[in-house]
Amino acid sequence: MTNEKKMSTPAAPIPERMSGNEAVAFAIRQVNPDVMPAFPITPSTEIPQMVSSYIANGLMDTEFIPVESEHSAMSAAVGAESAGARSMTATSSAGLALMWEELLLAASNRLPIVLTLVNRTLSGPININCDHTDSMGARDTGWIQIYAENNQEVYDNYIQAYRIAEHRDVRLPVMICQDGFITSHGVQNISLLPDQPVKDFVGTYAPEEYLLNPGKPVAVGPYAVTDYVMEARKAQREAMENAKQVILDVADEFAALSGRQYGLFEEYRTADADYVMLIIGSAAGTAKEAVDELRGQGKKVGVLKLRVFRPFPEKEIAEALANCRAVAIMDRSENYSGQAGALGSEVTAGLYRQHSDILAVNYIYGLGGRDFTTEDAAAVFEELREGVEEGRPVGQYRYVGLRG
Amino acid sequence: MRTDITKINEKTPYQDLTEGLMVFAGGTAKLFKTGEWRNNTPVWDSEKCRQCLLCTPCCPDSSIPVMSGRRGNFDYDHCKGCGICANVCPFGAITMKEGMEP
Amino acid sequence: MKTIEIRWHGRGGQGAKTAALLLADVAFKFGMQVQGFPEYGPERSGAPITAYNRISDREIRVHSNIYYPDYVAVVDETLVGSVDVTAGLREDGALIINTVKTPEEAAALFPDYHGRVVALNARKISEEALGRNFPNSPMLAAVVAVSGLIPKDDFLREMRSSYQHKFAKKPEVIEGNMKALEMAYDAIGGQAR
């Protein structure tokens, strides 16, 4: 197993420029998982395409299975992982939706599959651009979800994914998310790691129990009568809780290798901030730029960029927000609850449980690829300030950049 | 962590169950005595039986053991008493008897 | 260095997106921080498309489109009138347009824009150098020349190595592309401030 803590020594970085999809495909080549079933869907299509090219050119030897649907892709990944093969797939939007049933199977059978998701909205109206409707819709399937701000982060997150998924205290599938087109197709600088240190970091997969293990038979996914279901879920829930520490441990080791430190979230200029924007994905970079501009004007603002949505760091977020006066919770999906999106609901529930009484405003932004600019971020901060300092009532649930 | 399923039952706390309720062992169905569910019992008359073996593949619970091409007596630990075997027997060698006992 | 923002206007299939990615590529080779990204929608050949570049000496974190570009490159003149190509364009920047018009005639197309308008007959250059109408190479050279991003010799040297990699299987087009770049760069030289 790859669970033992290893001392990683810094690896010589390779400066490159590539898109988020290229970065993921490059990382997949370096990790060289055993099996990858996949079905193409915009904007993640390039990932299986590039991996297929790597395989055709003899640069990796992953068994690529061109399946007939995403339902089959995840089914094949479940089968392959049960058999003892390190497995993965890639998808977006409706592809993830079609995997729905198998997502729960993968998690409940405790199969450490990795899925690289390129976030795209779901119909309707039909649209190919970015929002988080797909992954947020799958937030309760038992998968670990890790989000990226840019191509660098999605590359780094993928390299860390199997170490988290396969850890003996976790054994859960991991979804590595990046913003469709915005990072998946945007070319930007990136610092790559050499192949061998990546392979050493990830390690070889040596599960203790698996189907293709002669003399050691296994039954995967047996029927459970009522007497067992709650206990199984509780155990799964504990594994998810354990993932928090494992994610942090793996991040520390990765920092020793790469010089880049990750956590459950990133706090950007929040230490003395009165107003904080809590946001996921590529828009966090835009928000940081806005924070720098506003700081230049003397405004005490900061960004809390959530990296890990599952396991949800409820308590950690509430603690990080303890000293601010107001928080804008930014959801890139609408879940029709009347309480904004999933992030809004979960953060406010966490604040309540920690007896926090800061002003928390839920915002919906960026649906279907709607652009989110530094001006949008500044307007949100200004709204928080007016609410707190001028007593102007702020609606609890707002849309950014909406016409009408 | 091979599973001793005799130690897993409806009283087992969640910490002692396997991951994903996977069963890390083979042939464990044998330990589960479905014969306890039986309220009609097939009785085999070896005199009338011509060893045609039509009954064996019809048994949904694999409870008609075959050794060296000949069937033996029922596996009453697992036979649920459905009566299919008695129905398919062309020679009247299997009769159904009320109750659990043969 | 100040972050330079560039917006490309073209039609699907003309290579405006490729030009933006090539520009990111060549700027990267000179150690700059780069971003190159198209505004995505369903693929529609001939439909107006927009692509963007940010080039800087520090990490680029903004992931929005560009609304106040320093430079705008119009790869297809027929877009003028239907697409507001000068929207937000900084007056200390420039608009570079592929046109048969003179710089003065081209400037007259944009009476509300008071910055510099650079006219380049990218089609003619491409047809002379390559024998085909691929306006993106000349437009790329024009953007590099107008923005002063990279000196001519360095730019051409790096582009040759890029083309050698990109066109490894059809080396016959390398010289034509290099010629197109040089002709465009020199044509801009005459309009330099």
Tell me the residues of B at the A interface, defined by beta carbons under 8 Å apart: 1-2, 10, 12-15, 17, 19-28
Same domain, A128 and A246: yes
Nearest to A227 among B2, B10, B26 (CB): B10
Query: Rounded CA gap, C121 and C99, in Å?
Result: 5
Same domain, B48 and B12: no
**Number of neighbouring beta carbons within 10 Å of residue C120:** 28
Chain C contact probe: residue of A130, A152, A189 with most C CBs at under 10 A: A189
**Number of neighbouring beta carbons within 10 Å of residue B52:** 13
Q: Which of A223, A258, A293 is the last residue of a domain?
A: A258
Same domain, A50 and A126: yes
The answer to whether the CB of C164 falls within 8 A of the CB of C171 is: yes
Counting the structural domains of chain B, the total is 2
Q: A285 and C63: CB-CB below 8 Å? A: yes
Q: Is residue A170 part of a domain?
A: yes
Strand bridging mode A63-66 / A35-38: parallel
Residue B90 is encoded by which pair of tokens?
């062309």
Look up residue A299 and give its DSSP letter. Answer: -
Same domain, B25 and B42: no
Chain A contact probe: residue of B7, B11, B21, B30 with most A CBs at under 10 A: B21
pLDDT tens-place string over residues C120-150: 999 999 999 999 999 999 999 999 999 999 9
Dihedral sign (CA A68, A71, A76, A79): negative
Alpha carbon distances (Å) from B21 to A101, A109, A239, A344, A368? 18, 7, 14, 34, 40
Question: What mean pLDDT comes out for the span A292-308?
Answer: 98
pLDDT tens-place string over residues A198-251: 999 999 999 999 999 999 999 999 999 999 999 999 999 999 999 999 999 999
Asked whether the predicted pLDDT for residue A2 surpasses 70, the reply is no
Nearest to A372 among C34, C59, C64 (CB): C64
3-state secondary structure of A57: coil
Asked whether the predicted pLDDT for residue A3 surpasses 60, the reply is no
**Which CATH number covers residue B86?**
3.30.70.20
Strand bridging mode A275-279 / A301-306: parallel
Nearest to A228 among B21, B25, B26 (CB): B21
pLDDT tens-place string over residues C21-65: 999 999 999 999 999 999 877 767 788 999 999 999 999 999 999
Q: Is residue A7 part of a domain?
A: no
pLDDT grade, residue A6 (50/70/90)? low
**Residue A55: phi, psi to the nearest 5?**
-65, -45
pLDDT of residue A1: 41
Chain C contact probe: residue of A16, A17, A41, A370 with most C CBs at under 10 A: A17
pLDDT grade, residue A340 (50/70/90)? confident
- pLDDT > 70: percent of chain A: 98
DSSP 3-state percent helix, strand, coil across chain B (nearest 5) = 25, 15, 60
Domain coverage including residue A167:
14-258
- Select from C140, C146, C123, C153 the least CA-distant residue to C181: C140
pLDDT of residue A7: 60
Chain A contact probe: residue of B19, B30, B31, B32 with most A CBs at under 10 A: B19
Q: Is residue A160 part of a domain?
A: yes
Look up residue A186 and give its DSSP letter. Answer: -
State the average pLDDT for chain C: 93
Query: Rounded CA gap, C16 and C39, in Å?
Result: 11
**Residue C180: phi, psi to the nearest 5?**
-60, -40
Domain coverage including residue B102:
33-102
Question: What mean pLDDT comes out for the span A173-178?
Answer: 98
Q: Is residue A3 part of a domain?
A: no
Same domain, A110 and A202: yes
- pLDDT > 90: percent of chain A: 94
Q: Is residue A4 part of a domain?
A: no
Q: B27 and A230: CB-CB below 8 Å? A: no
At least 3 CB pairs under 8 A between chains B and C: no
Same domain, A87 and A229: yes
- Cβ-Cβ contacts under 8 Å, B32 against chain A: none
**Residue C82: phi, psi to the nearest 5?**
-100, -25
Question: What mean pLDDT comes out for the span A348-360?
Answer: 93
- Cβ-Cβ contacts under 8 Å, A84 against chain B: none
Same domain, B4 and B44: no
Domain C4-189, what fold? Pyruvate-ferredoxin Oxidoreductase; domain 3 (3.40.920)
pLDDT tens-place string over residues C68-78: 999 999 999 99
Subunit partners of chain C (3 or more CB pairs within 8 A): A
Look up residue B29 and give its DSSP letter. Answer: G
The answer to whether the CB of C138 falls within 8 A of the CB of C180 is: yes
**Number of neighbouring beta carbons within 10 Å of residue C117:** 24
Query: Rounded CA gap, A119 and A283, in Å?
Result: 13
- Cβ-Cβ contacts under 8 Å, A189 against chain C: 28, 33-34, 59-60
Query: Token pair 């692509």 is at which residue?
Result: C51
Same domain, A333 and A236: no
Q: What is the CA radius of gyration of chain A?
A: 21
Counting the structural domains of chain A, the total is 2
Q: Is residue A309 part of a domain?
A: yes
**Which CATH number covers residue A336?**
3.40.50.920
Nearest to C38 among A183, A185, A373 (CB): A185
Residue A68 is encoded by which pair of tokens?
């007939």
Same domain, B53 and B5: no
Question: What mean pLDDT comes out for the span A303-331?
Answer: 97
Query: Rounded CA gap, A262 and A269, in Å?
Result: 16
- Cβ-Cβ contacts under 8 Å, B10 against chain A: 227-228
Q: Which of A210, A228, A258 is the last residue of a domain?
A: A258
Give the residue on C whose Cα is nearest the Cα of A179.
C63
Same domain, B12 and B39: no
Q: What is the mean pLDDT of each run of 10 residues along chain B (102 residues)?
A: 81 92 88 91 97 97 96 96 97 96 89
Same domain, B48 and B27: no
Asked whether the predicted pLDDT for residue A185 surpasses 70, the reply is yes
Q: B23 and A218: CB-CB below 8 Å? A: yes
Give the residue on A whose Cα is nearest the Cα of C33.
A189
Q: Is residue A96 part of a domain?
A: yes
3-state secondary structure of A70: helix
Same domain, A214 and A92: yes
Asked whether the predicted pLDDT for residue A4 surpasses 90, the reply is no
Same domain, B40 and B14: no
Q: Who contacts B9 (Cβ-Cβ below 8 Å, separation ≥6)?
A: none
Q: Is residue A302 part of a domain?
A: yes
**Number of neighbouring beta carbons within 10 Å of residue A352:** 12
Same domain, B60 and B89: yes
pLDDT of residue C168: 87
Residue C59 is encoded by which pair of tokens?
């990490």
Q: Which of A204, A224, A258 is the last residue of a domain?
A: A258
**Which CATH number covers residue A40?**
3.40.50.970
pLDDT tens-place string over residues C143-193: 999 999 999 999 999 999 988 888 888 888 899 999 999 999 999 875 655
Q: DSSP characters for A206-256?
A: --SS-SS-TT---B-S----HHHHHHHHHHHHHHHHHHHHHHHHHHHHHHH
Print burial letters for C29-67: b (CB count within 10 Å at least 16), e (below 16): beebbbbbbbbbeeeeeeebbbbbbbbbeeebbbbbbbe
pLDDT of residue C191: 63
Same domain, B3 and B39: no
Q: With a cut of 0.95, is the ipTM above it? A: no
Chains A–B, number of C-beta pairs less than 8 Å apart: 56
Asked whether the predicted pLDDT for residue A87 surpasses 80, the reply is yes
